[in-house]
């Protein structure tokens, strides 16, 4: 009986997905300008740009102060903030001075909101970039009367020892706010559709269903087959992790292909945690660098990066990483299951190109420290 119900559950969900995939094809939902331009995870040019423009009452959205008011009203700990929305402006990439040697002053703030009385909100925007030493503390020191907001995809805590900040997430706060702004733009179709595309992007980045109607229908099916769905859920994570590990071992075993670029590599190991799996490898001739191929469970995305072991001047570690994207815009496990060795060869080719393009920048004799 359980086996029959599992088959029925999978058949219903498969049928629903196919219906909505066809609907998306006919309606043009898959045409997302942010994805097409490869700007999905660009903190500055995409996310800070969109959020900053909306938070600015004088922005080009023609909604006046309404988006700022919605932002303050939807986030509980901002509802008591005294802010004159009519005189407010939002500024992006605000330089507050050169970072001093002990990292207690200076930096560049992603977003600030201020009115005639001064700066009221400071927003540090993190998509995939790592947090820098004393970053939030430096911003609070500069604007002591402002609320400091730490924005991440899933609402993660800051890793520093500074605690005078508030957490907000794209998954909940920003998505709900963007959807509210889209409703407010009911009579401005150009603005509304851009916001709907941005909401689609947020759902994608935070590993949520990009089609709300399909999500609702699938949830109804799960309710009807709750016991069977629970069994699938219990086993899904283990199965996914095994596929990732299997794919990484294939990459490791075929690692000799990296020699095409006259770079010798030593595959270190395959590392696993509760949040990701990573394949670590190093340049034999230049031991100051190691590289990683990392699959993140929360986003289902695959990243490639360089980590100089030390930066000579300060000993600071720096990470340069980029997402490996696939032609059909699917996650790595799906691509691997569909294409097997073709997917592995594609990843190895991306690694080759990435190393050739970046190795001179991160060589032992040419390391530039970046904030």
Closest CA to 62 of 189, 152, 158: 189
Report how far residue 154's alpha carbon sits from residue 110's, in angstroms, rounded to the nearest whole number: 18
Could you report the per-residue pLDDT of 152-198, keeping only the tens digit for each? Answer: 998 888 878 888 999 999 999 999 999 999 999 999 999 999 999 99
What integer pLDDT is reported at residue 286 of this predicted model?
A: 57
Q: Find, among 302, 348, 327, 299, the residue nearest to 152 by Cα.
A: 299
How many alpha carbons lie under 13 Å from residue 298 in its C-beta half-sphere?
A: 13
Contact by Cβ (8 Å): 166, 77: yes
Structure tokens at 22: 């066809």
Indicate the SS3 state at residue 3: helix
Q: What is the bridge-based pairing of β-strands 89-95 and 118-125? A: unpaired
Look at residues 142, 136, 144 and name the one whose alpha carbon lies nearest to residue 162: 136
Residues 331 and 293 sit within 8 Å (Cβ to Cβ): no
Highest mean pLDDT among 8-12, 194-198, 244-248: 194-198
pLDDT band at 7 (very low <50, low <70, confident <90, very high): confident
- Residue 306: its pLDDT value, please? 79
Average pLDDT (34-62) is: 90
Q: Are 126 and 157 in contact (CB under 8 A)?
A: no
Rounded CA separation 240/299 (Å): 13
- CA–CA gap between residue 82 and residue 119 (Å, rounded): 11
Looking at residue 285, what is its pLDDT? 58
Specify the range with the lowest mean pLDDT, choosing from 121-125, 211-215, 225-229, 237-241: 211-215
Both structure tokens of 74: 């939807």
Sheet-wide strand order for 301-308: 265-272, 276-283, 289-296, 301-308, 320-324
Q: Please give the mean pLDDT across all residues of the chain.
A: 83
Q: List, in order, residues 6 or more apart from 145 with CB less than 8 Å away.
A: 118, 119, 120
Give per-residue pLDDT as tens, 323-368. Answer: 888 866 678 898 899 888 888 888 888 887 887 777 666 554 444 4
DSSP 8-state assignment for residue 31: -
For residue 285, give the DSSP letter.
S
Report the 10 Å Cβ neighbour count for 48: 20
- Residue 237: phi, psi to the nearest 5? -60, -45
pLDDT tens readout for residues 67-111: 999 999 989 889 889 999 989 999 999 999 888 888 888 999 999
Q: What is the CA radius of gyration of the chain?
A: 23
- Contacts of range 330-337, beta carbons closer than 8 Å, 24 or more positions apart: 331/300, 331/301, 331/302, 332/244, 332/247, 332/295, 332/300, 332/301, 332/302, 333/240, 333/243, 333/244, 333/247, 333/295, 333/300, 336/243, 336/247, 337/243
Do residues 91 and 146 touch, judged by C-beta distance below 8 A?
no
């Amino acid at each position: 009986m359980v086996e029959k119900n599992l088959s029925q559950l999978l058949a219903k969900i498969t049928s629903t997905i196919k219906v909505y995939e066809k609907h998306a094809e006919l309606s043009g939902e898959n045409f997302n300008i942010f994805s097409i331009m490869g700007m999905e995870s660009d903190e500055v040019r995409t996310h800070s740009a969109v959020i900053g423009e909306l938070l600015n009452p004088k922005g080009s959205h023609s909604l006046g102060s309404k988006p700022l008011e919605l932002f303050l009203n939807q986030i509980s700990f901002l509802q008591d903030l005294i802010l004159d929305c009519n005189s407010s402006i939002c500024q992006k990439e605000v330089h507050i001075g050169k970072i001093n040697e002990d990292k207690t002053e200076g930096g560049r703030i992603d977003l600030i909101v201020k009115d005639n009385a001064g700066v009221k909100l400071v927003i540090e925007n993190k998509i995939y970039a790592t947090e820098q030493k004393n970053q939030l503390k430096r911003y609070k020191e500069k604007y002591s009367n402002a609320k400091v907001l730490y924005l991440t995809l899933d609402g993660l805590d800051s890793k520093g020892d500074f605690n005078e900040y508030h957490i907000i997430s794209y998954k909940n706060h920003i998505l709900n706010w963007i959807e509210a702004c889209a409703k407010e733009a009911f009579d401005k179709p150009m603005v509304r559709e851009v916001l709907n595309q941005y909401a689609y992007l947020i759902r994608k980045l935070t590993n949520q269903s990009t089609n709300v109607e399909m999500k609702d229908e699938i949830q109804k099916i799960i309710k009807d087959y709750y016991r069977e769905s629970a069994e699938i859920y219990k086993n899904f994570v283990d199965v996914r992790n095994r596929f990732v590990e299997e794919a990484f071992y294939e990459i490791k075993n075929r690692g000799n292909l990296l020699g095409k670029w006259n770079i010798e590599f030593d595959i270190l190991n395959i590392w696993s945690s509760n949040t990701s799996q990573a394949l670590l490898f190093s340049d034999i001739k230049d031991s100051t660098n190691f590289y990683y191929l990392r699959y993140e469970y929360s986003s289902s995305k695959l990243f490639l990066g360089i980590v100089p072991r030390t930066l000579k001047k300060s000993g600071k570690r720096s990470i340069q990483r980029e997402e490996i994207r696939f032609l059909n815009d699917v996650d790595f496990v799906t691509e691997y299951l569909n294409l097997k060795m073709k997917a592995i060869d594609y990843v190895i080719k991306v690694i080759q190109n990435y190393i050739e393009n970046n190795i001179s920048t991160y060589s032992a004799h040419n390391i530039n420290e970046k904030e």
